Amino acid sequence: MDKSKNLYAVIMAGGVGERFWPQSRQHIPKQFLKILGSRTLIQKTVERIAPLIPMERVWVVSNQKHESLIRSQLPKLKKNQILLEPFGKNTAPCIGLAVAFLNKIDPEGIMVVLPADHLIRDEKEFLKMLKAAADIADQEESLVTLGIKPEEPETGYGYIHFGKPIKKGANTPFFHVQKFVEKPTLQKAKAYLKDGHYLWNSGMFVWRVKTILKAFQEHLPQVYEPLEEFKKAIGTRGEKKAILKMYEAVPKVSIDYGVMEKAASILVGSGDFGWDDLGAWPGLERHLKKDNQGNVARGAFVSVDADNSIVLSQDGIVALLGVKNLVVVKTKDAVLVMGKDRAQDVKAVLEKMKGCAEYKKYL
């Protein structure tokens, strides 16, 4: 594959992954876990794009407390390729930070923005889309986002309503975005699926450094101005302090809300490469083989009269007897047992633990 020299990857690895407790902890979020397979999600993310974007053009943005995790999991990454946030302010400042650095290196460069914790089954097809998106971002000077052809009326994702293809009559998977849509009700999700003009919002973006910088300037001056101030400190001894100052100044805002929904012309690629954001434990059901009772498991597992359950077992065995529709996650020092339909509420458990001094060590 053609490794375009001006193509850069920015891996967003700032997530806390609370929904993957007890495997994910404050000191080791989801993207640093081997949720499936023998490599961590961030390792998979970097390795997946290697045929198109080699390690030396990969930047990782993450919380500063996870620096050592990144360095140990991606040992070939140089220190200056790890951009550390003092605290999270959602995706717009995170992307802004990377834009500021890349603008210094290669303002004509094209950057691919990827979350660190997604799974992709068809890597070839994914790279093909990514390359096509980069070409379009280069030619059209547009903001391009990758959408995903929905497989089911999923209510856990945002949707992108798309309109005309970018080239009249041409057979292209790229379209003009009509509207970004919030996570829908099941009824609406079903209608979107039927309509055929809606894609899942994957949170993956491709654009020229200067195009996104201009968009920040136009739509998100509250982030753009502190960024411009910060840029002066890049490469100086005051850089770290300047990052802190910038993060203190900017609002918490997502790139979708702050930029994408406001920009006049956004393009979206209609992707079909087995994408999965693996948003919570039940997401594993799509990747593991079910037994005759509909259970999926990783690790030592035994069951009698147990149905449709999901079991993750580290450091030992999980036994189910006469239960159904459960998620059971065992780590060395914690066990979560929840109804499969409650996976979005793990945060409530963590909140409760935060209120108890002796349980904080399990967060």
Q: How far apart are CA 138 and CA 176, in angstroms?
A: 16
Give least dist CB 38 to a copy of itself, A. Answer: 19
- Phi-psi bin for 139: left (phi > 0), alpha (psi -120 to 50), beta? alpha
Contact map string, positions 323 to 362, toward a copy of itself, x by CB under 8 A? x--x-x-xxxxxxxxxx-xx--xx-xx--xx--x-xx--x
The pair of three-digit structure tokens given for residue 307, joined into one six-digit string: 């149905």
Of residues 44 and 298, the one with the C-beta less far from a copy of itself: 298
109 within 8 A of 233, measured Cβ to Cβ: no
Of residues 244 and 300, the one with the C-beta less far from a copy of itself: 300
Give least dist CB 283 to a copy of itself, A. Answer: 17
Determine the angle formed by the axes of helices 239-249 and 221-231, rounding to 10 degrees. 170
Q: Name which of residues 11 to 30 contact a copy of itself (CB under 8 A).
A: 21-22
Of residues 179 and 352, the one with the C-beta less far from a copy of itself: 352
Of residues 267 and 346, the one with the C-beta less far from a copy of itself: 346
Does 307 participate in binding a copy of itself (rule CB under 8 A)? no
Other beta carbons within 10 Å of 1: 12
Sign of the CA dihedral with 126 first, then 130, 131, and 136 last = positive
Give least dist CB 331 to a copy of itself, A. Answer: 8
Of residues 251 and 339, the one with the C-beta less far from a copy of itself: 339
The pair of three-digit structure tokens given for residue 228, joined into one six-digit string: 């411009």
Instruction: Give the distance between the most distant pair of CA atoms in the chain.
Output: 64
Binds a copy of itself (CB under 8 A): choice among 9, 56, 322, 357: 322
Contact map string, positions 265 to 304, toward a copy of itself, x by CB under 8 A? -----------------------------------x-xxx
Length of the chain: 363
Of residues 222 and 325, the one with the C-beta less far from a copy of itself: 325
Give φ, ψ of 180 to 5 degrees: -90, 135
Q: What is the DSSP string of 258-283?
A: IIITT-S-EEEEEE-S-EE---SGGG
HSE-up (13 A, CA, CB side) for residue 345: 8
Q: Which residues form the interface with a copy of itself (CB under 8 A)?
A: 21-22, 300, 302-305, 313, 315-323, 326, 328, 330-339, 341-342, 345-346, 348-349, 352-353, 356, 358-359, 362
